[in-house]
Structure 1
Amino acid sequence: MKKWLLGCATMLLLVGGLLAYIVYTLFFSMSRLPEGEWLTSTTSPEETYTIHFYLTNGGATTAYSIRGELVNHHTSERKNIYWAYREQDVRTEWLDSHTVTINGRVLDVRNEQYDWRRGKE
């Protein structure tokens, strides 16, 4: 009986973990955002980083969104750092070599991102 309970508990943990991973990946991860149509790009003062901005259209029942993809020129790494719902325009200003203001939100591109679903991370 103990082995059966232990097996059931293990199976529940595995299924729960898998479901949590699937929900996170599909609804909260910034790595699976829609690509969108290129709007503009901005490069940091020392040319270490470039952020490419894309306008995404979610269809007839959702508003436009802006996705910002950071490119690190030293490592060639690409990652999404900006995801804003109900925006169609981008206003940016680099404050220094690694801090940028995007539509009024200040981000340190080395370790911060903005996702409208969660606020600043």
Structure 2
Amino acid sequence: MKRFIKKHPVGFTITVSTIVVTAAVSWGIIALMHWAFFDLDRLEPGELITEETSPDGRYTVQTFLNNGGATVDYAVLGVLTFNKKKREAKNIYWDYHEEEGEVSWIDEETVQINDQVLHVPKDIYDYRRE
């Protein structure tokens, strides 16, 4: 390797620079694709279906019906609101081919939305990741 560097310092610099630029561009494309196609925070709520507050009053979950239009089926979005902390609401549930958003609290930190059981605030259900 030392011999290559001594004989071709410009070629080595160009090779390393090309690798670094390619890696940065690839990372940027992957980040953009995630933001565009998989980021739940980009979803618009839609029409409110139901709203339920946790037994201790710390959280509220609302479900919304999203009408994708003529070529896309209905989907349901579940949004967690923090009632006692100053935190931004969080999208915790996203399911496609769904028109109902039944919410029931199992305990203070466990909610069931349709058939999915989530431990709030950390769990998220997204049908695209199944």
TM-score (norm 2): 0.87
Task: Give the gaps of 5 or more residues in structure 2.
Answer: 1-10
The aligned residue for residue 49 of structure 2 is 39
Secondary structure of 1:95 counterpart: strand
Question: Match for 2:35 among 16, 19, 25?
Answer: 25
Whether 1:7 aligns to 2:24 is no
* Structure with max Cα Rg: 2
Q: Would the alpha carbon gap of residues 76 and 39 (structure 1) be closer, same or farther in structure 2, given more than 3 Å must change? A: farther
Structure 1 residue 57: Cα displacement? 1.1
Secondary structure of 1:88 counterpart: coil
Question: Match for 2:67 among 37, 57, 63?
Answer: 57
Counterparts of 1:70 and 1:64, CA distance in 2? 20
Task: Give the gaps of 5 or more residues in structure 1.
Answer: none
Which structure: greater helix fraction? 2
Structure 1 residue 66: Cα displacement? 0.5
Question: Match for 2:98 among 83, 87, 91?
Answer: 87
TM-score (norm 1): 0.93
Among the aligned pairs, what percent are the same residue?
35
Which amino acid counterpart does residue 123 of structure 2 have in structure 1? E
Deviation by residue 1:3-44 (Cα, 9 ceiling, x = unmatched):
111111111011001000000111111111133122221100
Counterparts of 2:86 and 2:114, CA distance in 1? 25
Say if 2:51 and 2:103, in contact at 8 Å, map to a contact too.
no
Counterparts of 1:18 and 1:75, CA distance in 2? 34
Equivalenced residue count is: 119
Counterparts of 1:89 and 1:35, CA distance in 2? 14
